[in-house]
């Protein structure tokens, strides 16, 4: 049951993250680089990094390919969301990012389980 639980955690968390990453990906490929600059590197690089953390890496996490490595950009993205972007916001605003952070840290620590490309 542990491996089924890990599969469910991986797929559910990553699909939910994709709902945030897809609009950013569409914005990026559409050439619209208007985006926040929470860490001071510019709007376009910030958008690019957010797309990696919220769109590219969740796809890798769903299929379980380089899963532990793929969680790192997503974890960093959620840390930026919690600690910088939403730092002054009330808890209920940053709660979603905190829940994603917990899920992806759990995946990093536990690994992908046997139902993944990593285990094939």
**pTM for this prediction:** 0.94
Distance in angstroms (rounded) separating the CA atoms of residues 70 and 84: 22
Mention every residue, 6+ apart, whose C-beta is less than 8 A from residue 68: 107, 108, 111, 112
Quick: pLDDT tens for 1-60: 999 999 999 999 999 999 999 999 999 999 999 999 999 999 999 999 999 999 999 999
Distance in angstroms (rounded) separating the CA atoms of residues 79 and 24: 18
Domain boundaries, the chain: 2-114
Distance in angstroms (rounded) separating the CA atoms of residues 112 and 63: 9
User: In this structure, is the dihedral angle defined by the CA atoms of residues 79, 85, 91 and 94, taken in order, positive or negative?
Assistant: negative
Quick: pLDDT tens for 61-113: 999 999 999 999 999 999 999 999 999 999 999 999 999 999 999 999 999 99
In the DSSP assignment, the letter for residue 12 is: H
């Amino acid at each position: 049951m542990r491996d089924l639980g890990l599969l469910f955690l991986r797929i559910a968390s990553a699909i939910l993250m994709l709902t945030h990453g897809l609009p950013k990906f569409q914005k990026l490929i559409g050439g619209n680089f208007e985006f926040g600059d929470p860490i001071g590197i510019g709007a376009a690089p910030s958008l690019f990094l957010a797309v990696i953390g919220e769109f590219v890496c969740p796809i890798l996490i769903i299929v379980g390919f380089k899963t532990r490595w793929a969680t790192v950009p997503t974890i960093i993205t959620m840390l930026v969301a919690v600690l910088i972007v939403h730092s002054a916001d009330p808890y209920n605003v940053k709660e979603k990012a905190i829940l994603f952070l917990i899920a992806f840290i759990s995946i990093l620590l536990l690994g992908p389980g046997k139902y993944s490309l990593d285990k094939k």
